[in-house]
Structure 1
Amino acid sequence: MAEGKEEDVKLGANKFTERQPLGTAAQTDKDYKEPPPAPLFEPGELSSWSFYRAGIAEFMATLLFLYITILTIMGVNRSTPNKCASVGIQGIAWAFGGMIFALVYCTAGISGGHINPAVTFGLFLARKLSLTRALFYIVMQCLGAICGAGIVKGFEKGPYERSKGGVNYVQHGYTKGDGLGAEIVGTFVLVYTVFSATDAKRNARDSHVPILAPLPIGFAVFLVHLATIPITGTSINPARSLGAAIIYNRDLGWDDHWIFWVGPFIGAALAAVYHQIVIRAIPFKSRA
């Protein structure tokens, strides 16, 4: 019997069996051995070129992400009063989701393709990377976002100012609580998808079902934007909000800014807890 099956029996996962084995009950001999958690501090990383290369990849990916998405927002806003003459809200959502798909695909093999401090935070809580690397990624992501928004403003300052710099803020008719809730749930959807799409145990078990991890991640970003653009403009990415707010630098970008850090970090933490404890049951397995 495979190790995974033995663990599931100890946990009672197979007490009431299915006629057709499902989920973790459908383990094969290709089962996956859980790697040890990443150390909290990894001083050796600081002398490794791969560490800095990963940070540069996160910087460039976030720069390109802000550049394309803010330009898309500007294009839609210039089409007033008839936004249907442009790509509209659906096009903005596609721009965000499509860029995440492309950039995660490009950088996954170098840095893991986080491009988002909330994703980095969630993976850190799950001990997928060290605190050293997590802090470095977040700094590089924020710097990349600032540069990406700065390039847009440098190219098209007039349209940029008229489009309010693509900053996130709680839209008229919604409360700050509405905005915070939308950011928490939206980030939960994103980070939960990241965990599921990159779960090596799932890939080992379901190797007969090929999956391109960036695709569901990008699609999750697209769907969350469709749902929450009318509420907050959709952040689910603190670096995206910070870069836009710093370069636009008006009260509109700062009044609700705390929401776009607190909300995504809470959502990411909930997703990490849900995936590690409920879906993977890792603490119980280690105890068993």
Structure 2
Amino acid sequence: MTISRSFFIFLSQNKTLTKGAKKWGIHLGASKVVAGEDIDEALTTIQSMNEQGLMATIDHLGEFITEKSEVEEAKQKTIEIIDSVYAKNVQSELTVKLTKLGLDIDTDYCIENMKEILQAAKEKQNFVNIDMEDYSRYEKTLNVLKTLRKEYDNVGTVLQGYLRRGLDDLDGLAEVPLRIVKGAYQEKEEVAFKDKHEVDANYFLMIQKHLQQEGFTAIGTHDHRIINAVKLFVEDQGIPYHTFEFQMLYGFRTELQLQLVQEGYNVRVYVPFGKEWYGYFMRRLAERPQNLVSVAKGMIAK
């Protein structure tokens, strides 16, 4: 029986299950892709990766917050993470979601929260990447980014290869550090490619285009075919290795990550942590339903 991608997307957006997941803890295989529930666990994981030549971007999981009290708590937690990363001297940037910082409450309020975070990161010589969410928040996210970039250069965002407008949007973001990914949300056909071959083709075109622009390019993929194509492209175009990096998710294709490091490429691992692990885990299953094998192993191990 085939379990559809849309089924896991549906589960990821179920608020009742999300709330219940906080009580369950990181069970059912989620610990294989989420680096613990607190910052100390995550930093220990990152220190180990740094020793192997891998960099990180850390994400305190959580999204879709609609209460200001929770936003304030999330903002302070993010600043504490910046301080902890600096104190531990680990090689890690930060990833944040704007819906965790007030985007669904008020855009200006969200911008002010982000400015506090970016100022803290600037003082600690760190970089913050704004994670892209579903398409209903796409335009708002780009507008927030453009406002922030007027004052801060230590901020970038994510563009998704499955979006039909992605290639055109690169024109207005030529100097911005970008993480380019295929995309993990369920979107309507009028805004997103549905055919895998179309997604892959558009994704690679976006990578090629940004590699030749001024902004730093983070290539978020586990697809060895895309990785090999990027290797050939940068060699052919004479693109310096320091202008891009490969990014992968914690718990996925670790051997490939280390192989790329040995070959001289920069590799950064997205390291999520926190009690709000449920939605993230469901989206990973949506991308690769075969990860249910990990869930089964997690249940047997209990």
TM-score range (shorter-chain normalised) is: under 0.3
Higher relative contact order (CA 8 A, sep 6+): 2
* TM-score w.r.t. length of structure 1: 0.25
* Higher Cα radius of gyration: 1
Return the structure number with greater helix share.
Answer: 1
Return the structure number with greater strand share.
Answer: 2
